[in-house]
Amino acid sequence: MGRWIKGKTKTIMLPRTASVTFTFGDIVMLTSGLLATATAQSTRHVGVILTDVTSGDSNFATTAVRVPVEVPLEASAELEMTVTGTLLTTDVGAAFDLSTAGLVNQDGTTYKVLTCKGFIATNKGRFQFNSNADYADATWE
């Protein structure tokens, strides 16, 4: 799970893909103009979703329902993320992949979508997107 802890961000409403579950705090991406959860292989991310979406929701199968997403407005914005593997103090400055939409893969360095900016604990760190779809688009509506 991620949460922005440094830098300017903005909450925007974006349409989500129908019949897809989302977990509050997960990193999301756009696919064909609709939100989808980030994957271990995704390389372009929008921000962090601020709501859960479950199959029990009355509009779960409805197309293009808008949901809140917190997006960074500057390249230096940092988010706190949970890490799989063991994060080390020497990992500061290194770039990593995602394991899932809510976990950084300390052992993954293929896509390098997040750079470690600070060590919090062996399972948590501060990260900056290398993969943001658009850092400075303050006109998101």
Could you give phi then psi for residue 78, rounded to 5 degrees?
-125, 145
pLDDT digits (tens, 9 = 90+) for 16-55: 999 999 999 999 999 988 999 999 999 999 999 999 999 9
List the end-to-end C-alpha distance of the chain, in Å, as a whole number. 24
pTM exceeds 0.85 for this model: yes
From the DSSP assignment, how many helices (H) and strands (E) are in the chain?
Answer: 0, 11
What are the domain boundaries of the chain? 2-72, 78-129
Q: Of all residues in the chain, what percent carry a pLDDT higher than 70? A: 94
pLDDT at residue 57, rounded to an integer: 92
Answer for the pair 78, 111: CB distance below 8 angstroms, yes or no: no
Six token digits for residue 108: 């993954």
- What is the Cα gyration radius of the chain? 15
Section 3-19 average pLDDT: 94
Q: Which residues contact 81 (CB under 8 A, 6 or more apart)?
A: 1, 2, 102, 103, 104, 114, 124, 125, 126, 127
pLDDT digits (tens, 9 = 90+) for 112-133: 999 999 999 999 999 999 877 6
